[in-house]
Structure 1
Amino acid sequence: MKLVLKLIAGIILGILIGLVAPDFITRILITIKVIFGSFISFVIPFIILFFIASGVAGLGKKSGRLVGMTVGTAYVSTVVAGLLAFFVAVTIIPMISTANESVAEGTALEPFLSIEIAPLMGVVTALVTAFVFGIGISKAESMTLKKVVDEGKDIIDLVIAKIIIPLLPIYIGAIFAELAAEGTVFETLKVFGVVLLLAIVTHWVWLLIQYVVAGSISKKNPFVLLKNMLPAYFTAIGTMSSAATIPVTLRSVKNNGVKENIANFGVPLSATIHLSGSVITIVTCTVAVMMLSTDMGIPTIGQMLPVIFMLGIIMIAAPGVPGGAIMAALGILTSMLGFSEAAIGLMIALYMAQDSFGTATNVTGDGAINLIIDKYSSDK
């Protein structure tokens, strides 16, 4: 929660600087924004490469049938959650504003210098390479390459935790300073508030759907199941990390009657691959940011369907730190939807403002996934 407070402080300070500070101060912030944004773009392919390769290589050591059931169920859950979020967002968000306001980089103020840090590979190249090496490492049982991708994952995890996340408040503050200088910040904030509320309500609706389905399959009361998962939900709000909440999630899942061997296997795996709450937020915020951009507009189902399918895969690469899911998703937004640097900054700000609720939805949804797998495995 400290990060959220820092982000809010960064937004407020950025707006004040953009409104009242001399232009050269705003230009300093814009310069920081441009350089830091370029660094984020450079890191994204490495997030996808090392996290997916490490995750896929690790799965090869586990029970194939249980892995297949869990991964398949989690992927379907994530995709359906994304579709729900899209239809809710395109219905509600256009009612917020009658006119689009641009969030693209303005021409009034320019950075003092611009340094382009070109990524070493594209997002799709990183994704394909990750799966090729991940599957290859698993099949060949190459411990040397497994160590390489695991250590690469650890290094990128440190970059995110020690560099990107601590500097995000400054980056977001710079985005809002630029918006304030351009005169579009208040329209943006108006949309922000509604979008955050909409994302959280959609989380709750999705959790209810998940547990009605899981309760029907397991022949248990869905409301009792949800009540037993509340400790995990509220713990995740505080930790903002699915991984850090695993001990509480594990206890809650076992309280719902899931067999110990299924829970011990399924909960840690689901915490890595099942991020339906994060996808709900990403899709909702994507629709909002595209609506605010005059060069994009409201996305169609044809545009968003491939994005949602890809997000389900990319979430495997989401680092287990606050904001990890949006870091992993940025490559998809830039390569498939053409998000600009300013649009990416708004996505990060929107996502981080509710990251705790998205994480809580992820871990609570893991309980439903494990109930389904427990019932299905018992019938075999």
Structure 2
Amino acid sequence: MRTILKNYSSLLLLLGGIIAGSILGLIFGKQVEVIKPIGDIFLNLLFTAVIPLVFFAIASAIANVDPSQKLGKVISVMGLVFVGTVLVSAFLTIVAIWFFPLQAVTTGPTAMEEMHTAGPGEQLTRLLTVGEFYELLSRKNMLPFIIFSALVGFAALKAGESGKAFRRFLDSGNEVMKQLLNIIMVLGPIGLGAYFAYQVGTLGPELFGTYASSMALYYGFGLFYFIVMFSVYAFLAGGMAGVKIYWKNNLVPTFTALGSCSSIATIPANLTAAQRMGIPEHIGNVVVPLGGTLHKDGSSISSIVKIGVVFAMFHRPLTGVDTVLLALGVTVIVSIVEGGIPNGGYIGELLVMSVYGFPIEALPAVMVIGTLVDPLATILNATGDTVAAMMVTRVMKGRRWLKDREDLQGPAARLSDPVV
């Protein structure tokens, strides 16, 4: 119990600040406007830290890929499985929102007209690029900035020995910016508490309906996805035997994820579970660690719920081919990007505001949703890695990969295969 409290201490402090601020808003009403600048200062610090943080995190990660690792087919199949399950979870969440519309209080005027006045080609150009370098530094252009950061990382990787000093700079900058964001987030309970005191004081208790609606959808659909869809994936990987062996070995990773509040901390438990499931070491040892940062079905569901809440706030339907495709694309990017960044969900929330042209006033509401869904999101993120490894094994080894194991509980050497 003490370990769980320690791991969730920052989350509990954040919720405590939000609850305290909400109570102040209920008691004092519009008089709490006097403390709104405290919340604004916190958000402004967060906004200014996000741009360099994203740059260093993405560029350094790509720049340090080991070009000598020729994992070829395993990496290719793994990428397809990761993207496939993220897209499935995202699309099913959109369908759930269509059947169970989210309720949200409007917090400000919409600002989407500009995005809809341009033609499709111009919209795509604005979405992916900017005309001047300085425009990359605006939080309104997060997607072009992410693309630019990735290109810098690839350039640093391609530079080889000549780019060694620059790669060290990227690594150092990444560590510094992580620490900066951690320092800023210490102010989170006070900053978000002040902001929510203002929102509750001015908008009233109906603001809580936004969270009740989104939480009911997330936890209801999330549990469905955890039980039903993970079973479907396990069945695709190994039939009924795959379903049985997955759930037999998934309990320890599940409780590890819940207790640690971290996909990364769950990697050792997942590696052990993968071995007991009969997943070859050369597959499990690649898919599970990379899945800890790149494969996040729980974050995918969370991203769509946040998008749905913002659309509900500004009375816009989450329908239309272009809207849905953009939501799916944003979700894939968010699921990949946020893994290597502390409080990385906030990066995704800024990206949502940017690509859809929503005003930034909606950000605190979706930040709180990200905090409230964190326990189940972590479970989905972490435990989805082993079932993904099972599907990769199914593609690499064929449909009889489980039957070919004489003893799935045997020594590690018996579970090892030569590299394909």
Query: Is this contact kept in 2: 1:33–1:175, CA < 8 A?
Result: yes
Letter in 1 for 2:183: K
1:328 Cα deviation after fit: 2.2
User: Matched residues in 2 for 1:330 and 1:92: separation?
Assistant: 22
The alpha-carbon distance between structure 1 residues 46 and 72, as it changes in their structure 2 partners (threshold 3 A), is farther
SS of alignment partner, residue 157 of structure 1: helix
1:272 corresponds to:
293
* Count of equivalent residues: 358
User: Matched residues in 2 for 1:254 and 1:58: separation?
Assistant: 28
Offset from partner CA, 1:330-354 (integer Å, 9 cap, x none): 2321211233333110101011112
User: Matched residues in 1 for 2:40 and 2:199: separation?
Assistant: 14
Residue 334 of structure 2 corresponds to residue 328 of structure 1: no
Counting only pairs closer than 5 Å after superposition, residues 69-218 of structure 1 correspond to structure 2 as 69-94=77-102, 97=103, 101-104=105-108, 120-121=137-138, 122-141=141-160, 142-164=163-185, 166-184=186-204, 186-207=205-226, 208-218=228-238
Identity among equivalent positions (%) equals: 23
SS of alignment partner, residue 137 of structure 2: coil
1:41 corresponds to:
47
Larger mean Cα displacement after TM superposition, 234-243 or 38-47:
38-47
User: Matched residues in 2 for 1:231 and 1:197: separation?
Assistant: 26
The alpha-carbon distance between structure 1 residues 309 and 72, as it changes in their structure 2 partners (threshold 3 A), is same
1:112 corresponds to:
none
User: Matched residues in 2 for 1:374 and 1:342: separation?
Assistant: 45
SS of alignment partner, residue 318 of structure 1: helix
User: Matched residues in 2 for 1:73 and 1:241: separation?
Assistant: 22
Letter in 2 for 1:335: S
User: Matched residues in 2 for 1:101 and 1:58: separation?
Assistant: 44
Counting only pairs closer than 5 Å after superposition, residues 352-367 of structure 1 correspond to structure 2 as 352-367=371-386
Larger Rg: 2
1:351 corresponds to:
370
What is the TM-score when the length of structure 1 is the normalising length? 0.85
**RMSD of aligned alpha carbons:** 2.4
2:333 corresponds to:
313
Gaps of 5+ in 1: 106-117
Query: Is this contact kept in 1: 2:294–2:339, CA < 8 A?
Result: no
The alpha-carbon distance between structure 1 residues 331 and 179, as it changes in their structure 2 partners (threshold 3 A), is closer
Offset from partner CA, 1:188-216 (integer Å, 9 cap, x none): 21231232132123223223313322332
User: Matched residues in 2 for 1:217 and 1:50: separation?
Assistant: 37
User: Matched residues in 1 for 2:166 and 2:72: separation?
Assistant: 21
User: Matched residues in 1 for 2:88 and 2:35: separation?
Assistant: 39
Offset from partner CA, 1:140-177 (integer Å, 9 cap, x none): 3333232222222212221222322x222223222321
Gaps of 5+ in 2: 1-7, 110-134, 399-419
User: Matched residues in 2 for 1:218 and 1:350: separation?
Assistant: 36
Query: Is this contact kept in 2: 1:307–1:336, CA < 8 A?
Result: no
User: Matched residues in 1 for 2:57 and 2:193: separation?
Assistant: 29
Query: Is this contact kept in 1: 2:46–2:184, CA < 8 A?
Result: no
Letter in 2 for 1:315: S
User: Matched residues in 2 for 1:128 and 1:59: separation?
Assistant: 17
User: Matched residues in 2 for 1:195 and 1:223: separation?
Assistant: 32
Residue 52 of structure 2 corresponds to residue 32 of structure 1: no
User: Matched residues in 2 for 1:225 and 1:69: separation?
Assistant: 20
Offset from partner CA, 1:277-310 (integer Å, 9 cap, x none): 111012113212331x2x3433224323213213
User: Matched residues in 2 for 1:188 and 1:200: separation?
Assistant: 19
The alpha-carbon distance between structure 1 residues 314 and 139, as it changes in their structure 2 partners (threshold 3 A), is farther
